[in-house]
Structure formats: C-alpha cells, structure tokens
Amino acid sequence: MNRHSGINKKGRYPPNFGTYLGLLGGILATIGDGLATVGVAIDLEQSQLDDVNNAQQSQSQNEEFINMKKQLKALENEVRLLKETNPK
C-alpha cells in the first residue's frame, strides 16, 4: 500500500501563485510599453523642436549673409568713388 495515500499534499507555492505571477508580469509589460510610447513621443517632439530651431538659425544666417553682401557692395561703391575722385 502506498504510504502517501490519503495525505493532502501542499505544493511549494501557494494556490494560484502562477496565475498571480502571470498577471503581475502582464501588468509590468503593459506599463513598460506605455513608458516606451511616452519616450518615443518625447523624442519626436524634441526632433520637431530641433528642426524648427535649425530652420530659424538658417533663416538668421541667410539674413546676415544678405546684410554682409549689401555692406560689401556699399564698400565697393565707396572705393570706386574714391578712385574716381582721387586719380593717380
């Protein structure tokens, strides 16, 4: 006769432990996915801000370049006038 027959065996883990552990894992995975989504949204927003800043900087550089061209043209005209009024 089996000496363990009629004895109620208890497992190593409490009842439904695997179910609860699986539920906890699912919750943590969902939270992780949510955090990843927020991270991507923040990265996209930062990328858009960088694009706007680069466009503004490019516009500013173009305006400075145009002003420098105007100043150079004015200096060329002054040099030409000086040469005309003071021939050698």
pTM of the model: 0.56
Pair of tokens at residue 57: 């900087």
Overall residue count recorded for the chain in this entry:
88
Question: How does pLDDT run across 54-72, given as a tens digit for each residue?
Answer: 999 999 999 999 999 999 9
Q: Is residue 52 scored above 50 in pLDDT? A: yes
Radius of gyration of the chain (CA): 39
Q: What is the pLDDT of residue 33?
A: 97
C-alpha span between 37 and 31 (Å, rounded): 10
Share of residues in the chain with pLDDT > 90 (%)? 74
The average confidence (pLDDT) of the chain is 90
